[in-house]
């Protein structure tokens, strides 16, 4: 049985299709230092760990794309595997995306003072340029709200320079 299929389309629909099949959508980064880094997204069964994805899924994808019979397993120091998530999994009801000197901080303070709104502030969305967040990033944001996810409480996030960055605009 084929353990994984390579994704080559829209990141959002590729991930959602993968998750609906109870699988895991991961980003595989192959970096030899001298050549441009290769980023691949692949869907694999949840039982596959990072080692299996790097040792089986990535070589299979590479041999398919290069139309060869087999590719060697890349050395672990050249491969990074990270599970991807989706924006819809973020526990947010609102985002205040600002640009310089537009009153984002004032709006954030006003919303944060409301008893039915829990706001967080920071640079969560600007850590990298991927279209999708990593699973550990979504978990981190969920942990910020842990214990405060009550019915009737809105969860929000604010960043005064979020809209300045391409990834922030894509996210919104």
- Please state the rounded mean pLDDT for residues 145-156: 74
What is the DSSP secondary structure assignment for residue 69, as one 8-state letter? S
Q: What share of the chain is helix, strand, coil (3-state, %, to 5)?
A: 40, 25, 40
- Answer positive or negative: Cα dihedral of 50, 14, 57, 80: negative
How does residue 113 score in pLDDT terms, banded at 50, 70 and 90? very high
Closest by alpha carbon to 149, among 116, 121, 110? 116
Residue 112 pLDDT greater than 80, yes or no: yes
Quote the pLDDT of residue 110. Answer: 93
Quote the pLDDT of residue 21. Answer: 59
Q: Taking all residues of the chain, what is their mean pLDDT, rounded to a whole number?
A: 75
Assess contact for 75 and 5: CB atoms under 8 A: no
Query: Dihedral (C-alpha) 97, 99, 101, 107: value to the nearest 10 degrees?
Result: -10
For 50-80, write each residue's pLDDT tens digit.
Answer: 888 888 888 887 888 888 888 888 888 888 8
Structural tokens at position 2: 């084929």
Quote the pLDDT of residue 83. Answer: 84
Quote the pLDDT of residue 17. Answer: 55
How does residue 152 score in pLDDT terms, banded at 50, 70 and 90? confident
Assess contact for 144 and 137: CB atoms under 8 A: no
Residue 127 pLDDT greater than 60, yes or no: yes
- Please state the rounded mean pLDDT for residues 35-48: 74
Quote the pLDDT of residue 125. Answer: 64
Report the share of the chain in percent with pLDDT over 90. 2
Residue 94 pLDDT greater than 80, yes or no: yes
pTM score above 0.85: no
Residue 1 pLDDT greater than 50, yes or no: no
């Amino acid at each position: 049985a084929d353990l994984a299929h390579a994704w080559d389309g829209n990141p959002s629909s590729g991930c959602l299709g993968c998750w609906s099949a109870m699988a895991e959508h991961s980003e595989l980064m192959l970096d030899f230092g001298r050549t441009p880094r290769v980023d691949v997204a692949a869907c694999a069964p949840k039982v596959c760990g990072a080692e299996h994805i790097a040792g089986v899924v990535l070589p299979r994808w590479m041999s398919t794309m290069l139309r060869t019979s087999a590719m060697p397993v890349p050395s672990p120091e050249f491969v990074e595997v990270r599970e991807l998530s989706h924006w819809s999994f973020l526990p947010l009801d609102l985002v205040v995306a600002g640009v310089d000197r537009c009153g984002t901080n004032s709006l954030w303070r006003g919303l944060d003072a409301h008893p039915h709104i829990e706001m967080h502030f920071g640079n969560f969305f600007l850590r990298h340029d991927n279209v999708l967040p990593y699973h550990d990033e979504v978990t981190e944001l969920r942990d910020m709200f842990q214990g405060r996810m009550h019915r009737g409480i809105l969860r929000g996030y604010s960043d005064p320079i979020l809209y300045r960055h391409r990834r922030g605009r894509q996210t919104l």
